[in-house]
């Protein structure tokens, strides 16, 4: 990922110190548990204002920068996880996308000369000493070959492999502690995400693999002149140095510059969406880091992709499920969408799926033909509260980079076309599939789904007919069951449970405090140690009481929201 160069005269901690495994583990654990303490403290005192979250988020970003490239990448990945983090954290972590300091040009030249075995002037006629851009893993310099071609030279930061080895060990230890002592972390499949993350990270520092990715990506878009993939100069590339064709362009999110060049942002937006649909649904090989620094537009309106280090593949089975889900979304078939999301592991079956189904139908009916409006969800308060309580949504490790790509693209699409909608943007892609000859199982499935969708749009049945057809199917499969449930009773029982729990903690706190006082003043002070133990137990009970009261307060607020 390439970003604007930020001058940084003071070296960061990871650049100054040669860490041992134990020292690196101590740094990681200290940062992690300090942050968890902040969160616990804020929850304890119900200090969860926007200003407090913003301060904690800025502290987190500062420490991720200090910890180095691995954690910068972690922060960049988290900056797209709107399902996990509040807006203040998303905003602060997004600053990591363009706040990465460059390293010295002398180091960069030394790495190039060592890797290629020649002096810099023997390799390149010109080599710009000021980097064009910097990233968490490397930086880019413009250069010119002796044959006259303008190129960019990507140079890897020194010592990354050793640092990644240390971080792999330290984060692995941290996750084991989390899994053992923090039960709430187990539902996020952190170990799978950790394994997937480091697999991709190690691939990113192998520039030979990045060059192969670029060649494969170019081959996939052969015959698509509006998608530009820079050429790799293999004779000037190694595992730590990558020389590629210089293809300048306008940043894809710079709408004013695009319009000044006579380009239509809506058309660029449609081109990008169709390019990603092809990658995900047809090729199964996609660019996993499509932020504005890695996407540009040429003067004649072609879309340019940069940086092929973070690429990911979709397995055949997953791709088939994604194809069916995509066309189910276009058809607004909420039941099939939920079935496919469940089979893909994105949804977990919970005792009452009715709030999820109502929410899915609401989203498909309202937002497939216009951008998502968060305020519109005010109409679905009770469903949101029910889903929050059950937490049926989850993100398997294999889907992490797909979601990251889609959320980043959605942000770019909103800038280019605030009124964009998926159905209209996908039409060129769908039309191209209907003309496909069906070579291979996957392309054949895509073509069949596309033709079925066109037929569906032309012969769209009435709402009553669709409902009766689905009802009949579910009766045949034995999936329809009657569920009687009193939401109000459930909420009341939960409040009673929390109130009783608080009462027990209050009694225990009072009893142990009184016992400690009696032991301290009684029997001539001979039971001081027992009195201290009683006071400590009283303190722990008090913490439990405060926590239970906070939970009771939150429960009452959620119930009031749901009842409005």
Cα separation, 449 vs 331, in Å, equals 11
Nearest alpha-carbon partner for 57 in 195, 65, 295: 65
Cα separation, 197 vs 136, in Å, equals 15
Cα separation, 276 vs 408, in Å, equals 12
Which secondary-structure segment (H or E) carries 512?
helix 487-521
CA atoms in the 13 A half-sphere facing the CB of 547: 11
Nearest alpha-carbon partner for 77 in 317, 363, 400: 400
What b/e sequence results for 406-441 when a residue is b if at least 16 CB atoms lie within 10 Å of its CB, and e otherwise? Answer: eebbeebbeebbeebebebbbeebbebbbebeeeee
* Residues contacting 271, CB < 8 A, separation 6+: 226, 227, 301, 303
Cα separation, 514 vs 519, in Å, equals 9
What b/e sequence results for 222-237 when a residue is b if at least 16 CB atoms lie within 10 Å of its CB, and e otherwise? Answer: eebeebbbbebbeebb
Angle at 102 between CA 98 and CA 104, to 5 degrees: 175
Cα separation, 535 vs 515, in Å, equals 8
Q: Any idea which residues carry the catalytic annotation?
A: 289
Nearest alpha-carbon partner for 350 in 376, 377, 388: 388
Packing angle between helix 21-44 and helix 160-181, nearest 10 degrees? Answer: 40
* Residues contacting 471, CB < 8 A, separation 6+: 480
Cβ contact 412:295 at 8 Å: yes
In DSSP terms, 138 is beta-bridged to: 156
Cα separation, 290 vs 281, in Å, equals 17
């Amino acid at each position: 990922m390439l970003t604007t160069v930020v001058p940084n005269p003071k070296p960061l901690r990871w650049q100054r110190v040669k860490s041992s495994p134990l020292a690196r583990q101590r740094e990681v654990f200290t940062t992690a548990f300090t942050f968890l303490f902040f969160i616990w403290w804020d929850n304890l005192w119900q200090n969860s204002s926007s200003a407090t979250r913003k301060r904690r988020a800025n502290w987190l970003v500062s420490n991720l920068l200090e910890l180095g490239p691995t954690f910068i990448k972690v922060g960049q990945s988290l900056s797209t996880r709107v399902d996990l983090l509040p807006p203040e954290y998303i905003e602060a972590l997004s600053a990591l996308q363009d706040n990465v300091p460059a390293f010295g040009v002398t180091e960069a030249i030394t790495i190039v000369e060592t890797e290629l075995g020649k002096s810099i002037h023997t390799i390149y006629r010109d080599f710009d000493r000021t980097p064009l851009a910097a990233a968490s893993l490397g930086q880019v310099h413009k250069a010119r070959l002796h044959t006259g071609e303008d190129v960019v030279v990507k140079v890897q930061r020194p010592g990354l492999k050793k640092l990644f080895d240390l971080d792999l060990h330290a984060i692995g230890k941290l996750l084991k502690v989390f899994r053992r002592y923090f039960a709430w972390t187990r539902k996020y499949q952190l170990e799978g995400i950790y394994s997937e993350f480091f697999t991709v990270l190690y691939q990113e520092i192998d520039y030979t693999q990045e060059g192969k990715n670029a060649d494969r990506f170019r081959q996939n878009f052969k015959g698509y002149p509006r998608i530009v993939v820079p050429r790799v100069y293999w004779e000037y590339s190694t595992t730590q140095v990558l020389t590629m064709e210089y293809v300048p362009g306008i940043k894809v999110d710079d709408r004013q510059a695009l319009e000044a060049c006579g380009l239509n942002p809506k058309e660029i937006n449609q081109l990008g969406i169709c390019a990603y649909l092809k990658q995900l649904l047809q090729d199964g090989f996609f660019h996993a880091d499509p932020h504005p620094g890695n996407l540009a537009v040429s003067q004649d309106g072609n879309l340019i992709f940069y940086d092929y280090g973070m690429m990911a593949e979709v397995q055949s089975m997953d791709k088939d499920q994604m194809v069916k889900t995509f066309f189910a979304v276009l058809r607004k078939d909420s039941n099939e969408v939920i079935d496919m999301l469940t089979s893909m592991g994105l949804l977990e079956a919970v005792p009452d799926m009715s709030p999820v189904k109502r929410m899915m139908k609401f989203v498909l009916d309202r937002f497939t033909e216009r951008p998502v409006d968060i305020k519109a969800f005010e109409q679905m308060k009770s469903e949101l509260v029910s889903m929050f309580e059950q937490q049926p949504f989850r993100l398997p490790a294999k889907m992490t980079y797909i979601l990251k790509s889609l959320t980043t693209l959605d942000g770019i699409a909103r800038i280019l076309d605030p009124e964009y909608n998926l159905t209209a943007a996908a039409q060129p892609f769908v039309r191209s599939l209907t003309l496909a000859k069906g070579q291979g199982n996957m392309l054949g499935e895509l073509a069949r789904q596309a033709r079925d969708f066109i037929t569906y749009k032309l012969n769209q049945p009435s709402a009553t007919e669709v409902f009766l057809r689905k009802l009949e199917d579910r009766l045949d499969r034995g999936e329809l069951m009657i569920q009687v449930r009193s939401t109000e009773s459930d909420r009341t029982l939960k409040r009673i449970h929390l109130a009783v729990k608080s009462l027990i903690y209050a009694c225990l706190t009072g009893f142990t405090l009184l016992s400690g006082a009696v032991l301290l003043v009684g029997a001539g002070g001979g039971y001081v140690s027992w009195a201290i133990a009683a006071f400590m137990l009283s303190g722990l009970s008090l913490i439990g009481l405060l926590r239970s009261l906070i939970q009771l307060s939150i429960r009452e607020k959620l119930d009031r929201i749901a009842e409005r």
